[in-house]
Amino acid sequence: MASVSSVPLENPARVSSSRLISLDVLRGITIAFMILVNNGGRYAYGPLKHSDWNGWTPTDLVFPTFVFLVGITIVFSTESRLSRGASKKSIALHDMQRFVILFLLGIVVNGFPFFHLETLRIYGVLQRIAICFLVCSFLYLWDKKPASKIVLAVIALVGYWALMRFVPVPGLGVPGKTIPFMDKYANIAAWLDRHIFPGRLYRGVRDPEGLLSDIPSVATALLGMLTGMWLRTTKSKEQKCLGLLGGGIALVFLGQLWNPWFPINKNLWTSSFVLFCAGISLLGLALCYWAIEIRGWKRGWTYYWLVFGANAITAYMVSELLASGLDSIKLGPGQTLDDLIYQGFFQRVHPPGIGALLYAIAFVMVCWLVVWPLYIKKIFIKV
């Protein structure tokens, strides 16, 4: 079951040095932007849209950053529970429970409010998070050494490239020979999803959170785990920050280096995309770590992000259910409550892209106001 914790989260200025406020802040920033981009893309503001196929936009960086942070959190959470005397078996059972709850919450998000079972989408954002969480949690319980994470990440990234590059797509051809490599529809990932869940895919004939691309997504979380292990070393804060910075630059470079042969692509979660996005996540974490943990800039600006970061999954659920609810309330032919709100004010703002951005920001603020009372009362909903 989901649990509600009322363990006090102290003022950032007085919090124990053992707690990484920078991690909570980056999680809050990530969730805020995830809500922003999910609720502005239907309109005209370009930067809030995903890349159509190859390449990337700032929007494409959001989801992999959260998966990366999940990997970091696994290390800190597991070590915290072990230090309190929890057994590995009890932790494994609890992690399995969290996986089931997260996956089911993803199904709720996909189906709300009408739940058309014949076309209900099975894949989704929370489902991918659940899978990455379970695999990496079990792996960390089995072996805490960095070497196993590095080896598995390399196997996942190289293996996924090999699957996409060399495995023939049944009935269509061989990638790079008889069919274009990484064609939108004629690729092994899309083919597999069409055969597993026909009629239940996000794009009709393909899905950005499909089964095969869970392989490189796990690699994203593994890179997060390696980061968490680095942050738990006895090195100085300055050394840790330099490590984050250097790792970020290296991964961005490697992602761009691989890009010509296996293009950066969020829809397929390509291996170059994993490296590039993990690098950007590391650079963002390095900046937050330097500002908060080293410079001590904890007052004021961190509060907004901590509200989201403390109840990240709850905030995401609120945003998805609210969006679906507004879009399901019909006010007339071809008009929903969401349309009325947008057309009543935001559509009148020019240029149209700015109106769309203001709508997305307003949506984020509404979600923030919903979870804010939880933060004030020190209530943290966990799964």
Q: Please indicate, yes or no, if residue 209 is contained in any of the structural domains.
A: yes
Q: Are residues 99 and 68 in the same domain?
A: yes
Q: Are residues 76 and 176 in the same domain?
A: yes
Whether residue 41 has pLDDT greater than 80: no
Q: Specify the number of domains making up the chain.
A: 2
pLDDT in tens, 105-145: 999 999 999 999 999 999 999 999 999 999 999 999 999 99
Whether residue 182 has pLDDT greater than 50: yes
Structural domain of 177: 61-297
Q: What is the pLDDT of residue 10?
A: 40
Q: What is the pLDDT of residue 353?
A: 80
User: Phi and psi for 316 in degrees, rounded to 5?
Assistant: -65, -45
pLDDT in tens, 335-366: 888 888 888 788 888 777 888 888 999 999 99
Q: Are residues 74 and 10 in the same domain?
A: no
Q: Are residues 280 and 246 in the same domain?
A: yes
* Residue 309 or residue 13, greater confidence: 309
* Residue 213 or residue 327, greater confidence: 213
Q: What is the pLDDT of residue 352?
A: 75
* Residue 288 or residue 18, greater confidence: 288
Amino acid, res. 76 = F
Indicate the range of 76-85, 134-143, 289-298, 329-338 predicted with least confidence. 329-338
C-alpha radius of gyration, the chain, whole number? 21
Q: What is the pLDDT of residue 32?
A: 96
Q: Are residues 180 and 213 in the same domain?
A: yes
Q: How would residue 279 be classed by pLDDT, with cut points 50, 70 and 90?
A: very high
Whether residue 1 has pLDDT greater than 70: no
Mean pLDDT within 253-265? 97
Q: Give me 310's structure tokens.
A: 């403390």
Q: Are residues 345 and 231 in the same domain?
A: no
* Cα distance between residue 182 and residue 53, in whole Å: 9
Of the three residues 297, 331, 355, the one that is the final residue of a domain is: 297
Q: What is the pLDDT of residue 14?
A: 40
Mean pLDDT within 315-321? 96
Mean pLDDT score across all residues of the chain:
91
Indicate the range of 15-19, 228-232, 257-261, 312-316 predicted with least confidence. 15-19
Q: Are residues 33 and 75 in the same domain?
A: no
Q: Please indicate, yes or no, if residue 54 is contained in any of the structural domains.
A: no
Q: Are residues 74 and 149 in the same domain?
A: yes
Q: Please indicate, yes or no, if residue 127 is contained in any of the structural domains.
A: yes
* Cα distance between residue 292 and residue 302, in whole Å: 9
Mean pLDDT within 162-179? 95
Whether residue 8 has pLDDT greater than 50: no
Q: Please indicate, yes or no, if residue 55 is contained in any of the structural domains.
A: no
Q: Are residues 276 and 356 in the same domain?
A: no
Q: Give me 190's structure tokens.
A: 């899309």
Mean pLDDT within 17-27? 84
Q: What is the pLDDT of residue 3?
A: 52
Q: What is the pLDDT of residue 6?
A: 43
Q: What is the pLDDT of residue 334?
A: 78
Q: Are residues 317 and 293 in the same domain?
A: no
C-alpha distances in angstroms, 3 versus 6, 314, 379?
Answer: 10, 12, 10
Residue 236: exposed, middle, or buried by beta-carbon count in 10 A (0-12, 13-18, 19+)? exposed
Whether residue 186 has pLDDT greater than 70: yes
Of the three residues 269, 297, 325, the one that is the final residue of a domain is: 297
Q: Are residues 185 and 90 in the same domain?
A: yes
Mean pLDDT within 286-311? 94
Whether residue 179 has pLDDT greater than 50: yes
Whether residue 9 has pLDDT greater than 70: no
Percent of the chain with pLDDT over 90: 79
Q: Give me 354's structure tokens.
A: 């700015």
Q: Please indicate, yes or no, if residue 181 is contained in any of the structural domains.
A: yes
Whether residue 263 has pLDDT greater than 80: yes
Of the three residues 297, 325, 358, the one that is the final residue of a domain is: 297
**182 and 52 Cβ atoms separated by less than 8 Å:** no
Q: Please indicate, yes or no, if residue 318 is contained in any of the structural domains.
A: yes
Q: What is the pLDDT of residue 17?
A: 40
Q: What is the pLDDT of residue 341?
A: 87
* Cα distance between residue 378 and residue 212, in whole Å: 39
Q: What is the pLDDT of residue 356?
A: 85
* Cα distance between residue 16 and residue 293, in whole Å: 11
Q: What is the pLDDT of residue 13?
A: 39
Nearby residues of 164 by Cβ (< 8 Å), 6 or more positions away: 175, 181, 182, 187, 188, 189, 262, 268, 270
Q: Please indicate, yes or no, if residue 130 is contained in any of the structural domains.
A: yes
Q: Are residues 174 and 27 in the same domain?
A: no
Q: What is the pLDDT of residue 292?
A: 96
Whether residue 82 has pLDDT greater than 80: yes
